[in-house]
Amino acid sequence: MTTKHWPYPRVVAHRGGGTLAPENTLAALDTGARFGLKMIEFDAKLSADDIVFLLHDDTVDRTSNGRGAAAKLRYDEIAALDAGSWRDARFAGERMPTLEQVAARCAVLGLAANVEIKPCAGRDAQTGRLVAEAAARLWPEVPLLPLLSSFSYDALAAARDAAPALPRGLLFDAVPADWRAQTGALECVSLHANHRELNEKLVAQIKAAGLSILAYTVNDPERARLLGAWGVDSICTDRIDLIGADFFDPA
Ligand code: G3P
Ligand code: MG
């Protein structure tokens, strides 16, 4: 079987703007767009009062001036935190944005989105459902539907049930032996894998199963080139300064 049409850009900015901006903020999206990227990846989870917002970790400690588990903080408490100063003083005052704010900024900047569903422990299905419902409501169908992904099978299953029309990719670190069964049951369009766990043969097998491949987090241009030669469709990178939007298709 040949890979189905993959409409997404081949280079995706990890956490919005890679390492050049505070991750998962509107400033990160602005940075991704300023570097010419056409697609961004970011991590979405639920506050204690079920607002979908952007944060990678289970706690706000590393990427803000606050402390505590995201699952225990209301969004008004989260929104009061500074999520930019930890990265650089010039980003002081950046917030952890809601998915709604992110969708609006993507529309303004013309960015396609890979929404990684990143549930807090024990909230997999609820997070998958609420993120998918919000994404379906907030993003227009054109030019590109948001691509939902998750390491959590249960979150992606709930996303499939809540918003079946949104494309899905199952995330793996190492690709397990039953990747066909898992991606099949979730009706995925893509498999997303740690690039270190991919090899030419595995890429060919995944593509032969009709799935597209997104490899993360690829920061070495030589490695990106090799993955592209193997048939990897898109890469997610922190180094948007080294691996630009036209990396695979120079003008
Ligand atoms: O979606 C690709 C990548 O973001 C997965 O790893 O931990 O950076 O969310 P992580
Ligand atoms: Mg992520």
Neighbours of 38 (CB within 10 A): 20
Whether 56 is catalytic is: yes
Could you tell me the end-to-end alpha-carbon distance of the chain, in angstroms, rounded to an integer? 31
C-alpha distances out from residue 53 to 117, 119, 126, Å: 10, 11, 14
169-198: pLDDT as tens digits: 999 999 999 999 999 999 999 999 999 999
Residue matched to tokens 């803000």: 64
Whether 14 is catalytic is: yes
Q: What confidence score (pLDDT) does residue 5 get?
A: 84
Residue 82 lies in a domain: yes
Residue 250 lies in a domain: no
At 141, is the pLDDT very low, low, confident or very high (cuts 50, 70, 90)?
A: confident
C-alpha distances out from residue 12 to 63, 111, 113, 156, Å: 21, 10, 9, 20
34-75: pLDDT as tens digits: 999 999 999 999 999 999 999 999 999 999 999 999 999 999
Residue 169 lies in a domain: yes
Nearest-CA residue for atom 1 of ligand 1: 116
- Taking CA 193 as the corner, what is the angle to CA 140 and CA 46, rounded to the nearest 5 degrees? 50
Long-range contacts for 245-248 (Cβ within 8 Å, ≥24 apart)?
245/9, 245/11, 245/35, 245/36, 245/37, 245/38, 246/36, 247/10, 247/11, 247/221, 248/10, 248/11, 248/224
Burial annotation 168-196 (CB, 10 A radius, 16+ → b, else e): bbbbbeebeeebeebbeebebbbbbbebe
Q: What confidence score (pLDDT) does residue 251 get?
A: 76
Pocket of ligand 1 contains residue 116 by CB under 6 Å: yes
Q: Is the model's pLDDT at 4 over the cut of 70?
A: no
Q: What confidence score (pLDDT) does residue 143 get?
A: 87
Question: Residues within 5 Å of ion ligand 2 by Cβ?
Answer: 43, 116
- Please state the rounded mean pLDDT for residues 76-99: 98
Nearest-angstrom CA–CA distance, 150 and 220: 24
Residue 247 lies in a domain: no
Nearest-CA residue for atom 3 of ligand 1: 216
What's the CATH code of the domain at 30? 3.20.20.190
What is the reported pTM? 0.97
Residue 242 lies in a domain: no
Q: Is the model's pLDDT at 12 over the cut of 90?
A: yes
Residue 6 lies in a domain: no
Pocket of ligand 1 contains residue 14 by CB under 6 Å: yes
The closest alpha carbon to 17, from 25, 6, 5, 7, belongs to 25
Nearest-angstrom CA–CA distance, 203 and 98: 35
Q: How many domains are contained in the chain?
A: 1
Residue 123 lies in a domain: yes
- Taking CA 114 as the corner, what is the angle to CA 157 and CA 118, rounded to the nearest 5 degrees? 55
**Segments forming the whole domain that contains residue 227:** 11-237
Question: What's 4-67 look like in SS3?
Answer: CCCCCCCEEECCCCHHHCCCCCHHHHHHHHHCCCCEEEEEEEECCCCCEEECCCCECCCCCCCC
Residue 246 lies in a domain: no
**Mean of the per-residue pLDDT values of the chain:** 97
Q: How far is the CA of 158 from the centre of ligand 2 (A)?
A: 18
The secondary structure of residue 69, as a DSSP letter, is: B
Structure tokens at 27: 């400033």
Helix, strand or coil, per DSSP, at residue 122? coil
Q: How far is the CA of 205 from the centre of ligand 1 (A)?
A: 23
**ipTM confidence:** 0.99
Length of the chain: 251
